[in-house]
C-alpha cells in the first residue's frame, strides 16, 4: 500500500488540534508540533465563549477620532507601551485604514462564515470524544448601562443582524431578575440565544490533542527552526535535533506565525494584541451565563474553576512582561459590575491575540508550496478554530471547499 500523505501541523492551539483531528479523520498521517504543551498559549486564557455573533471587527467607524481619548483615559481598557509605538506604527496605520463603514461591513461579511455555526462546528469536532464534556450550549449577553448606550452601538448590532443574529432585549429591573449579580447600573441586556461556552479552554484543547494522539498523531514538543522547500514545494520541517520529511505543512501558531510565513515570501502585517484575564474564586453564587460587559469591554464567564473575566487591549509586543495597570483596571471594573458577588482573586494571565491589519485570518495555501496558513484569528480563535481546521483539512484532502475563501487568502499581502 502507498504511504499515507504526511502533514505536519505547527501549533497545538485550538486551530492546530482541530486541523490535526480532521486530517486524521481524512486518513492522513499527522505530526503535531508545538514549543509548549497543547492548549498552553492563547487557547488557554480566552473567555471560553463560542461567540457565533462575533462578526464586528474592532476597527469600527469613528475609531480614529476616538482613539486618542481612549488612550489618555486611565479608565478605558486600551493601553499602549509608548516605547513600542515606533515598531507598532506601520501596522497601526494599516489597521486604522479599515476603520470606516465600507471596510467594516466587508470584514464582517468575511468573519460571519467562520463564526456563525461555531457551536455546531465544535459539536461535530468533539462528538464521541472526551473533549465534548467541556462544551455546553449557552446564552451570551451584552450588558449596557441603558437604552441610549445600546442604541449607540446600532452600527455593530446592524452587522450582527445582517449575519442572522437578533438579540432578546431585557430592560429595567428585569435585568437583575435575569442576572441577579449585575449592578443596578446595568439597565439593559441584549441576550443572544443558541451560543456556547467552553469550560476550561486549556483543558478542552488538551483533550482534543489527546484525541488526535489516539487517532495516530505524533505529538512533538519542539521549536520549529525552518521549513525546507525543494523546487518551491515543501519537503521537510526542521526542529531541534531533527529534520522531519513531509508532504504538507499547516502553520497555526497565532502571532508567532509571522516569521514562518516570511520564509514562504509572505510579509504579514500581524501584531500582538495583548489581552488579560483575572480568574476569581466566587464565595457564593455565580453568573448563569457569559456576559460581555460593554462598559469595561470584558467578558465574564462562569467556569467550574471560577469566574473568568477576560478583556483589555494592550499594545506592547511579545517580549514585555504583564503590565500592572490593565490588571488593576480590569479588577476594579469587575468588582463595580458585580458588587454583590464576593470574589477572591486567584489568578491573572496575559495572552497574545494575533491581529492582522485587516482583522481577517489567513486561511489557505501559500502559493503552491504545500504550506497552508491557518492563523490570525484576532478575537475569534476559539469561536472559529474548529471550522478553520476543517477547511484546511478539506483543502489538503479534497483540494477545495464549498465556500468563498477569498477574504482569507494568505497571498493577499504579498512579499
Domain count, the chain: 1
CATH number at residue 331: 3.30.9.10
pLDDT for the residue 71: 87
pTM of the model: 0.96
Cα–Cα distance for residue pair 53/195, rounded to 1 Å: 8
Range of the domain at 167: 56-98+141-198+270-351
In a domain, 171, yes or no: yes
Q: Does a structural domain hold residue 153?
A: yes
The β-bridge relationship of strands 233-239 and 224-230 is: antiparallel
pLDDT in tens, 329-350: 999 999 999 998 888 887 899 9
Assign 367 to helix, strand or coil.
Answer: coil
Domain-located, residue 1: no
**Backbone dihedral angles phi then psi of residue 103, each to the nearest 5 degrees:** -70, -40
Task: Quote the CA–CA distance of 362 and 382 in Å, as a whole number.
Answer: 15
Burial of 247 (0-12, 13-18, 19+ CB in 10 A): middle
> How much is the mean pLDDT over the chain?
95
254 belongs to a structural domain: no
**How high is the pLDDT of residue 68?**
86
Please tell me whether residue 325 adopts helix, strand or coil conformation: helix
Domain presence at residue 288:
yes
How far apart (Å, rounded) are the C-alpha atoms in residues 203 and 41? Answer: 12
pLDDT at 268: 96
pLDDT, tens only, 94-129: 999 999 999 999 999 999 999 999 999 999 999 999
Read off the pLDDT of residues 171-191 as tens digits, 9 standing for 90 and up. 999 999 999 999 999 999 999
Q: Give a yes or no: residue 307 inside a domain.
A: yes
pLDDT of 34 strictly over 60? yes
Lowest-confidence segment of 38-42, 87-91, 169-173, 360-364 by average pLDDT: 38-42
Nearest to 405 by CA among 366, 356, 357: 366
Amino acid at each position: 500500500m502507498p504511504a499515507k500523505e504526511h502533514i505536519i501541523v505547527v501549533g497545538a492551539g485550538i486551530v492546530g488540534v482541530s486541523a490535526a483531528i480532521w486530517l486524521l479523520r481524512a486518513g492522513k498521517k499527522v505530526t503535531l508540533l508545538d514549543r509548549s504543551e497543547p492548549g498552553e498559549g492563547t487557547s488557554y486564557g480566552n473567555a471560553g465563549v463560542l461567540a457565533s455573533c462575533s462578526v464586528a471587527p474592532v476597527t469600527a467607524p469613528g475609531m480614529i477620532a476616538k482613539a486618542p481619548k481612549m488612550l489618555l483615559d486611565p479608565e478605558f481598557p486600551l493601553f499602549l507601551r509608548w516605547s513600542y509605538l515606533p515598531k507598532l506604527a506601520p501596522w497601526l496605520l494599516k489597521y486604522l485604514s479599515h476603520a470606516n463603514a465600507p471596510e467594516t461591513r466587508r470584514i464582517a461579511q468575511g468573519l460571519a462564515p467562520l463564526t456563525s455555526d461555531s457551536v455546531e462546528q465544535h459539536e461535530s469536532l468533539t462528538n464521541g470524544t472526551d473533549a465534548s464534556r467541556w462544551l455546553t450550549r449557552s446564552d451570551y449577553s451584552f450588558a449596557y448601562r441603558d437604552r441610549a448606550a445600546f442604541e449607540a452601538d446600532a452600527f455593530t448590532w446592524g452587522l450582527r443582524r445582517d449575519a442572522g443574529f437578533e438579540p432578546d432585549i431585557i430592560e429595567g429591573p428585569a435585568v437583575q431578575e435575569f442576572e441577579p449579580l449585575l449592578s443596578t447600573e446595568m439597565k439593559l441586556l441584549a441576550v443572544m440565544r443558541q451560543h456556547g461556552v467552553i469550560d476550561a479552554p486549556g483543558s478542552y484543547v488538551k483533550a482534543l490533542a489527546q484525541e488526535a494522539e489516539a487517532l495516530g498523531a505524533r505529538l512533538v514538543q519542539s521549536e520549529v527552526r525552518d521549513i525546507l522547500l525543494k523546487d518551491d514545494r515543501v519537503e521537510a520541517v526542521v526542529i531541534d535535533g531533527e529534520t522531519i520529511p513531509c508532504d504538507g505543512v499547516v502553520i497555526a501558531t497565532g502571532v508567532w506565525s509571522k516569521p514562518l510565513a516570511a520564509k514562504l515570501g509572505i510579509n504579514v502585517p500581524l501584531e500582538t494584541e495583548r489581552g488579560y484575564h483575572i480568574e476569581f474564586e466566587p464565595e457564593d453564587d455565580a453568573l448563569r451565563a457569559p456576559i460581555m460587559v460593554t462598559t469595561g469591554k470584558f467578558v465574564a464567564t462562569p467556569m467550574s474553576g471560577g469566574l473568568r473575566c477576560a478583556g483589555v487591549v494592550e499594545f506592547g509586543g511579545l517580549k514585555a512582561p504583564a503590565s500592572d495597570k490593565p490588571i488593576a483596571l480590569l479588577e476594579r471594573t469587575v468588582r463595580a459590575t458585580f458588587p454583590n458577588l464576593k470574589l477572591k482573586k486567584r489568578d491573572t494571565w496575559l495572552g497574545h491575540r494575533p491581529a492582522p491589519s485587516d482583522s481577517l485570518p489567513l486561511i489557505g495555501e501559500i502559493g503552491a508550496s504545500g504550506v497552508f496558513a491557518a492563523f490570525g484569528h484576532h478575537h475569534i480563535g476559539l469561536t472559529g478554530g474548529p471550522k478553520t481546521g476543517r477547511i484546511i483539512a478539506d483543502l489538503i484532502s479534497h483540494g477545495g471547499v464549498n465556500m468563498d475563501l477569498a477574504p482569507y487568502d494568505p497571498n493577499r499581502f504579498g512579499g
